[in-house]
Amino acid sequence: MTTVLVFVDRTSPDEAHGDALPKSTQELLTLARAAGDPAVVVAGPLSGPVKEALGAHGVARIYQSEQAELADYLVAPKADLLAQVAREASAAVVLLGNTPEAKEIAARAGILLSAGVVSDAVGLESGPEGGLLADKSVLAGSYLVKARATTATAIFTVKPNTVEPEEAVQASSPEVQVVEVAFGPASLGARIVERTVKPVSGRPDLTEARIVVAGGRGVDGDFGPIEELADALGGAVGASRAATDAGWIEHSAQIGQTGHTVSPQLYISAGISGAIQQKAGMQTAKVIVAVNKDAESPVFEIADFGVVGDLFKVLPQAAAEIKRRRG
Ligand SMILES: Cc1cc2nc3c(=O)[nH]c(=O)nc-3n(C[C@H](O)[C@H](O)[C@H](O)COP(=O)(O)OP(=O)(O)OC[C@H]3O[C@@H](n4cnc5c(N)ncnc54)[C@H](O)[C@@H]3O)c2cc1C
């Protein structure tokens, strides 16, 4: 059976101390099971509960390394580890998340393994000639294409919310095997000299959130209604470039061609015109709801549901109704 290797990075202080598997990792494991025999390579510490959670996802073998270089340097040693394990495990498919860091690890590992890399996948399926086909949204979201790697090993970086994460019907038994990997990192170019923990907002991570509420120039400096609706729905807050450039919200909230790409189950766009560069970052969302006071706004061309109205009236009413129904 095809070995599908999933890369799990536990080197960041947050990951190392949390005992839950991030949703994006659970999604990768769900895809891995559908494509073959899942194995995992963990960079960083592996706690008992994480090992158990991986077992519940049908992982029978975990390759792990806690070598200091993995946490002390930027991505290169992680790519070295991944490439070594992919060779050892004879992995035909390697899956990673779609963060900028994961994409760089994929690219470097691709060079080390002479493997084709397909990034930004929003779907994976078996191809007619064997191997996997990835769905990709390209050219600022104007086309959905299918891409496959023609090499013996194929590496895919997959966007969050591509599948509904599910545990395996049968957990791996009797015991998950952990293989400690010693490796000689070849590339130690950029060392991390300091880390500053970002203040926690209490909202889900923008790129992983199932629900995103985004505001644009139409909020006119006041993200209050956007935040209120996001909190009522348990969602993340995003923004157009007009809003981040104006300094109304931090740049990390920007969605679009030069910001984050998000694929949530629900994307609520408020006071955003829907320029092509904004669409590029959100049009693979499963359901798009647009609130805009201009009925001719291009955002309505891609919206599944549209409300022509003032966001300062529509959003608070929606938030109040959601809170009322949720009790
Ligand atoms: C190379 C390049 C890269 C770019 N990258 C990005 C990117 O990553 N992300 C991005 O977003 N943009 C990006 N842009 C900018 C993009 O072209 C648009 O300028 C930007 O998306 C516009 O933001 P906006 O929709 O918030 O503002 P506007 O286009 O000004 O639209 C504001 C909208 O709000 C509506 N509105 C106003 N008041 C209200 C109200 N009270 N209630 C309801 N609706 C209201 C208006 O009708 C209007 O449709 C990029 C541009 C370039 C050239």
pLDDT, tens only, 199-230: 777 899 998 899 999 999 999 999 999 999 99
- Asked whether residue 173 carries a pLDDT value surpassing 70, the answer given is no
- Ligand 1 atom nearest the C-alpha of 291 is 43
Confidence of residue 15 (pLDDT cuts 50, 70, 90): low
Residues with Cβ within 8 Å of 43's Cβ and at least 6 positions away in sequence, in order, are: 7, 8, 9, 10, 11, 65, 70, 78, 81, 82
Average pLDDT over residues 55-83: 94
Q: What is the mean pLDDT of the chain?
A: 92
Residues with Cβ within 8 Å of 120's Cβ and at least 6 positions away in sequence, in order, are: 98, 136, 137, 157, 159, 261
pLDDT score at 189: 83
270-312 pLDDT tens trace: 999 999 999 999 999 999 999 999 999 999 999 999 999 999 9
Q: What share of the chain is helix, strand, coil (3-state, %, to 5)?
A: 30, 25, 45
pLDDT score at 200: 72
Distance (Å) from CA 162 to ligand 1 centroid: 26
What stretches of 18-142 adopt beta strand conformation (E)?
A: 37-43, 61-65, 93-96, 116-126, 132-138
Tokens 């890399």 -> residue: 117
- Asked whether residue 156 carries a pLDDT value surpassing 90, the answer given is yes
Q: Which residues line ligand 1 (CB under 6 A)?
A: 216-218, 240-243, 254, 256-259, 271-273, 275, 277-278, 281, 291-294, 297, 310-312
Residues with Cβ within 8 Å of 34's Cβ and at least 6 positions away in sequence, in order, are: 124
Average pLDDT over residues 106-132: 93
CA distance 116 to 152: 8
Percent of the chain at pLDDT > 90 equals 75
pLDDT score at 20: 83
Instruction: Indicate the pTM of the whole model.
Output: 0.74
The structure tokens listed for 61 are: 């073998």
Residues with Cβ within 8 Å of 299's Cβ and at least 6 positions away in sequence, in order, are: 269, 272, 273, 274, 290, 292, 306
The structure tokens listed for 272 are: 């955003």
Do 146 and 135 meet the contact criterion of CB atoms below 8 Å apart? Answer: yes
